[in-house]
A and B are shown apart, each in its own frame.
Chain A
Amino acid sequence: MIDYSKVLSQTVVNTPKSGIRKFFDLMNTMSDVVGLTVGEPDFQTPWHIREAGIESLEKGRTYYTANAGLMELRSEINNYMSRRFGVSYEPEKEVIVTVGGSEAIDIAFRSVIEPGDEIIVPTPSFVCYAPLAKMSGAVPVILETKLEDNFKINPEALKAAITSKTKMLVLPYPNNPTGAIMTKGELEEIAAILRGTNILVLSDEIYAELTYTGTHCSIASLEGMKERTIIASGFSKAYAMTGWRLGYICAPAPLAEQMLKIHQYGIMSSPTTSQFAAVEALKNGDDDIKMMRDEYNRRRRYIYNGLKSIGIESFEPEGAFYIFPRISDFGLSGEEFCNKLLYDYKCAIVPGSAFGEAGNNFARISYAYSIKHITQALERIEAFVKSL
Chain B
Amino acid sequence: MKNKILKLLEGDARLTDKQLAIMLGVDEAEIRKEIDSLEKSGTILGYKTIVDWEKTERESVTAMIEVKLTPQRDRGFDRVAEKIYNYPEVQAVYLMSGAYDLSVLIEGKTMKEVAYFVSQKLSTIDSVTSTATHFVLHKYKDKGILYDAPEADERGTFN
Contacts and interface: CB of A to CB of B under 8 A. Distances in A.
B159 A371 contact: no
A42 B153 contact: yes
B132 interface: no
B156 A37 contact: yes
Given A371-B15, A371-B19, A35 B156 contact: yes
Given A301-B22, A301-B23, A302-B22, A371 B156 contact: no
Contacts of B159: 25, 28
B23 A302 contact: yes
B98 interface: no
Nearest to A44: B151
Interface residues of A, number: 19
Contacts of A369: 153
A27 B155 CA distance: 12
A40 B23 contact: no
B156 A24 contact: yes
B50 to A, nearest CB: 15
B142 to A, nearest CB: 18
Contacts of B25: 301
A40 B154 CA distance: 11
Given A302-B22, A305-B22, A40 B155 contact: yes
Main secondary structure of the interface of A (DSSP, over half): helix
User: What secondary structure prevails in chain B residues at the interface with A?
Assistant: loop
Contacts, number: 34
Interface residues of B, number: 13
Interface in A286-345: 298-299, 301-302, 305-306
Interface in A342-388: 369, 371-373
B34 interface: no
A215 B76 CA distance: 53
A38 B154 CA distance: 10
Given A371-B12, A371-B19, A298 B157 contact: no
Interface in A265-301: 298-299, 301
Interface in B119-159: 153, 155-157, 159
Contacts of B19: 302, 371
A385 B8 CA distance: 30
Interface in B1-46: 8, 12, 15, 19, 22-25
Interface string B78-108: 0000000000000000000000000000000
Nearest to A372: B12
Contact of B157 (A28, A306, A371): A28
Closest 4 CB pairs of A and B: A298-B23, A38-B155, A305-B22, A38-B156
Given A38-B155, A42-B153, A372-B12, 16 more contacts: A24-B156, A25-B159, A27-B156, A28-B156, A28-B157, A35-B156, A40-B155, A40-B156, A298-B8, A298-B23, A298-B24, A301-B22, A301-B24, A302-B23, A371-B19, A373-B153
Interface of A: 24-25, 27-28, 35, 37-38, 40, 42, 298-299, 301-302, 305-306, 369, 371-373
